[in-house]
Chains A and B, each alone.
Chain A
Amino acid sequence: MSRIQPPGRPFDDPELCASRAELARALRTVLPAEAVLAREEEVRPYECDGLSVYRQTPLLVVLPRDVAEVQQVMRLCHQRRVPVVARGAGTGLSGGALPCGEGIVLSLARLDRILALDPEARLARIQPGVRNLAISEAAAAHGLYYAPDPSSQIACTIGGNVAENSGGVHCLKYGLTVHNVLALKLVSAAGELIELGGEALDGPGYDLLALYIGSEGMLGITVEVTVRLLPRPPLARALLAAFDDVGRAGAAVGEIIAAGILPAGLEMMDGPAIRAAEDFIGAGYPVEAAAILLCELDGTEAEVAAQVEAVETLLARAGATEVRVSRDEAERVRLWQGRKSAFPAVGRISPDYYCMDGTIPRRALPEVLCRTAELAAEHDLAVANVFHAGDGNLHPLILFDANRPGELERTEALGARLLELCVEVGGTITGEHGVGVEKLGQMCVQFSARELAQFHAVKSAFDPAGLLNPGKGVPTPRRCSEYRQLPSPAHPHRH
């Protein structure tokens, strides 16, 4: 996290204006005129994604309506060597959809149809611009749903989910995007339509589907996705456990998992996050607790009954000061409300917040939380912690005020230290938000120069000219040597 980038040229730079006009003319030969946005006020909304500290206006924005138009745009850009950044809903949190000043943004927003929903086969074939939640809404009539449920599911698209391998609260039991996508169609950098996977459980050749998922728009443009739908479990119940010590809450998570119970969701919030959520939404959370665990158990009535009993006992034994169990659906929903609104709740108590995303082995949780608090104090900033405790995916929210000089820089420095801490304890710098432009520096901490070179070689196998989302995801060697020379912390390296 440091926003060192080549300074972008202004939108009205004469040279840019000339190439914009020329490219717009060419694109309008393959797209309707209104599908090519070239005026500053039209492209301005595309200048950033959910990580708005990075901004860059693109040369142009295009809004194709179908696969053939996407192919034509790609062919044209390929011939002219124009960089292309794909964009779904722009909710990404790592600057993945940040435009390139000399390139176009290709929005998939108009490819927004559910092409087929087959309840017999439990499959949905959808266009990339379909919103995550819309899939489950369409499947609900058949008692089915799409399992990965990022908190942004009202807005984010399946194309963005595939690009980031997005997760959600239910991924502990039902897997990430990679576990729930069966097939997809992509348009390559050269404009070729390629199909990966299929409706069978495996395809011939290398597992390119697994390689492609999570590739942050750098290997292709996703134009169609086939997802697996699951039957809605007949019953779900939630437990809330309060702890007066964060370490004990962390240990309780290990107890539940070790006992062979696989909750549908297992989330944790620390004191500051609990209080912010309670102030915001009044879900009835115990505000004096140091941490709470939210545990959801689902399945048939008999399964859930057996698991609720076991988890209640485990939580009590692990030192919970209070355990509540939802008695009905309304209560279950209410228990989750605080967690679901944790980000906006934190947004209310602080002018700005910066959401981090690292994964650690769960056993390191007490240590990491303790060092997080120390580092926050060193940087004179406050941190609220909300996380997918079941799979060790942390989301420290750093509270800051961008209007106070130097505070954003301090926030970024703290964020960088927190990610490096994740690497130090054997984890990773990103669990689900992706590297984007944000974590290019930390990639140099997690990977050796040779590993990074191998990533570049994989990229070239798909996109030899380097036109798809250039400058994202994998740092150049130069970037790494610059990062390593930055003053501040001693950069640990895993090897």
Chain B
Amino acid sequence: MSQDLTAELCASVAAAIAAATPLCLRGGGTKDFLGRHCAGRPLALAGHRGILDHQPRELTLTARAGTPLCEIETALAEAGQCLPFEPPHFGPGATLGGTIACGLSGPARPHAGAARDLVLGARVLTGRGEVLRFGGAVMKNVAGYDIARLMTGAFGTLGILLDISLKVLPRPEAVRTLVLDCAGDEALARLRALARRALPLSASCHDGERLWLRLSGAERALGPAAAEIGGERVEPGRAEDFWDALVREQRHPFFTAPGAPLWRLSLPPHAPALALDAPQLIEWGGAQRWLRTVHPAEVVRAEAARLGGHATCFRGGEAMHSPFTPLSPPLLALHRNLKQAFDPHGILNPGRFHAEF
């Protein structure tokens, strides 16, 4: 299915400007739990959809922002390709636009790059009601400021993403998952040591009891790498279920068990173990640590800051003033100025990301 709603969306933005009514942008509605609620008239974006261009040999794909992530992944798979950053869907309706606006990346992130690393260009509808194009469908481009990357992870507060161009990659020839029994501290030490070697590692996770490691690359190369690492080989079906469903889509009991809010700590990968006593799941070679805790936000944030990172209340923070780490005064000033530069009337997702803009 393919449909171009650019004209309708422009009209909606113009009307919103005229009536001074903010808009609450909605793709598939799969990530409502993340971030703040925004007060505004809902603006549906899922109808603006369709893959516009896929060039397997160029490693590029351009699609309308409302295109379901599944549709994109299916098209890529048919050409033996994939989205290298393995974005989580968090529901069947996930759209490309919502994925990029939230800037979320999956297990491959430390190895293949984040959403922002793979965004090459975007066509956006700004809060002034203008349709602008930045970047393109080429690998290297330094003409003008990198606004396509700025839009990635901006939670729709700077512009409505209309079309997005991404770098895509061939699926690895072979994948192998290994699992080792070890405690969290030991897992961190092992991950640190592995990071210093040039191994074809493509994902890592410590689930509380075991360290899971994924290798991707040429079939012939995986054997020697696996021998170097050791551990037990996981059967492919089970491995895929682990990485895609349990970790990326957060269906692991660590995530689904009722109770304490889920925190995401983004830390330097080499940061030592947390001093907070709470169940944890470690990903990204130590750079992403999930925590189930009822500790107050200040305590979790202070610990993240002590270790050189920041903390987001990922699920269960609806009632919080600020699920994301508050910004320092100079950064906040820049954010406000940028918001003013793209959305001077403050009609795009006001307060969705941070209360101040």
**Given A207-B116, A454-B126, A454-B341, A303:B142 Cβ within 8 A:** no
**Given A201-B109, A205-B327, A431-B140, A363:B218 Cβ within 8 A:** no
**Given A206-B338, A458-B341, A461-B341, A260:B170 Cβ within 8 A:** yes
| CB-based contact B198/A233 at 8 Å | yes
Q: How far in angstroms is the closest Cβ of chain B from A354? A: 18
Instruction: Please indicate the chain B residues that have their CB under 8 angstroms from the CB of A233 in the complex.
Output: 198
Q: Which residue of B lies closest to A307 (CB)?
A: B218
The answer, yes or no, to whether A281 is at the interface (CB within 8 Å) is no
The answer, yes or no, to whether B196 is at the interface (CB within 8 Å) is yes
| CB-based contact A201/B130 at 8 Å | no
| CB-based contact A306/B114 at 8 Å | no
The total number of A-B Cβ pairs within 8 Å is 254
| CB-based contact A392/B139 at 8 Å | yes
Q: How far in angstroms is the closest Cβ of chain A from B280? A: 16
Instruction: Please indicate the chain A residues that have their CB under 8 angstroms from the CB of B60 in the complex.
Output: 361
Within A452-479, the residues touching B (CB, 8 Å) are: 452, 454-455, 457-462, 473-474
The answer, yes or no, to whether A40 is at the interface (CB within 8 Å) is no
**Given A165-B142, A300-B200, A428-B141, A206:B153 Cβ within 8 A:** yes
Instruction: Please indicate the chain B residues that have their CB under 8 angstroms from the CB of A143 in the complex.
Output: 196
| CB-based contact A120/B144 at 8 Å | no
Q: How far in angstroms is the closest Cβ of chain A from B107? A: 13
Instruction: Please indicate the chain B residues that have their CB under 8 angstroms from the CB of A210 in the complex.
Output: 116, 146, 149-150, 152
Q: What separation, in Å, do the CA atoms of A305 and B114 have in the docked complex?
A: 29
Within B324-344, the residues touching A (CB, 8 Å) are: 324-328, 330-331, 334-335, 337-338, 340-342
Q: How far in angstroms is the closest Cβ of chain B from A302? A: 4
Contacting B195 at CB < 8 Å: which of A122, A259, A303, A448? A122
| CB-based contact B269/A121 at 8 Å | yes
Q: Which residue of B lies closest to A231 (CB)?
A: B198
| CB-based contact B220/A302 at 8 Å | yes
What bracket does the count of chain A residues touching chain B fall in?
A: 35 or more
The answer, yes or no, to whether A203 is at the interface (CB within 8 Å) is yes
Contacting A299 at CB < 8 Å: which of B59, B147, B200? B200
Instruction: Please indicate the chain B residues that have their CB under 8 angstroms from the CB of A302 in the complex.
Output: 218, 220-221, 223-225
The B interface, classified by DSSP as helix, strand, loop or mixed, is: loop
Q: What separation, in Å, do the CA atoms of A200 and B140 have in the docked complex?
A: 25
| CB-based contact A454/B150 at 8 Å | no
Instruction: Please indicate the chain A residues that have their CB under 8 angstroms from the CB of B8 in the complex.
Output: none
The answer, yes or no, to whether B64 is at the interface (CB within 8 Å) is no
Q: Which residue of A lies closest to B327 (CB)?
A: A205
Stretch of B9-17, B50-58, B89-97 contacting A (4+ beta carbons < 8 Å): B50-58
The answer, yes or no, to whether A204 is at the interface (CB within 8 Å) is yes
Q: What separation, in Å, do the CA atoms of A404 and B83 have in the docked complex?
A: 52
Q: Which residue of A lies closest to B270 (CB)?
A: A121
Within B199-248, the residues touching A (CB, 8 Å) are: 199-200, 217-221, 223-225
Q: How far in angstroms is the closest Cβ of chain B from A429? A: 5
Q: What separation, in Å, do the CA atoms of A451 and B199 have in the docked complex?
A: 43
Q: Which residue of A lies closest to B331 (CB)?
A: A205
The answer, yes or no, to whether B288 is at the interface (CB within 8 Å) is yes
The answer, yes or no, to whether B134 is at the interface (CB within 8 Å) is yes
Q: Which residue of A lies closest to B288 (CB)?
A: A201
The answer, yes or no, to whether B309 is at the interface (CB within 8 Å) is yes
| CB-based contact B337/A435 at 8 Å | no
Tally of contact residues, B, Cβ under 8 A = 85
The answer, yes or no, to whether A284 is at the interface (CB within 8 Å) is no
The answer, yes or no, to whether A232 is at the interface (CB within 8 Å) is yes
Q: Which residue of A lies closest to B324 (CB)?
A: A204
| CB-based contact A361/B146 at 8 Å | no
Within B43-69, the residues touching A (CB, 8 Å) are: 55-60
Q: What separation, in Å, do the CA atoms of A462 and B324 have in the docked complex?
A: 23
The answer, yes or no, to whether B110 is at the interface (CB within 8 Å) is yes
Q: What separation, in Å, do the CA atoms of A71 and B33 have in the docked complex?
A: 42
Q: Which residue of A lies closest to B130 (CB)?
A: A450
Chain B interfacial positions (CB closer than 8 Å to A): 55-60, 80, 103, 109-110, 113-114, 116-117, 126, 130, 132-134, 136-147, 149-150, 152-154, 158, 169-173, 192, 195-200, 217-221, 223-225, 266-270, 284, 287-288, 308-310, 312, 324-328, 330-331, 334-335, 337-338, 340-342, 353-354
Q: A144-B196, A260-B173 given. 18 additional CB < 8 A pairs?
A: A178-B149, A200-B266, A203-B310, A207-B116, A207-B149, A208-B150, A208-B334, A211-B149, A302-B218, A305-B220, A361-B138, A426-B136, A430-B142, A430-B143, A432-B142, A435-B144, A454-B147, A455-B144
Give me the 9 closest cross-chain CB pairs, A-B, nearest first. A260-B170, A199-B268, A461-B337, A210-B149, A391-B139, A303-B221, A431-B140, A457-B341, A204-B325
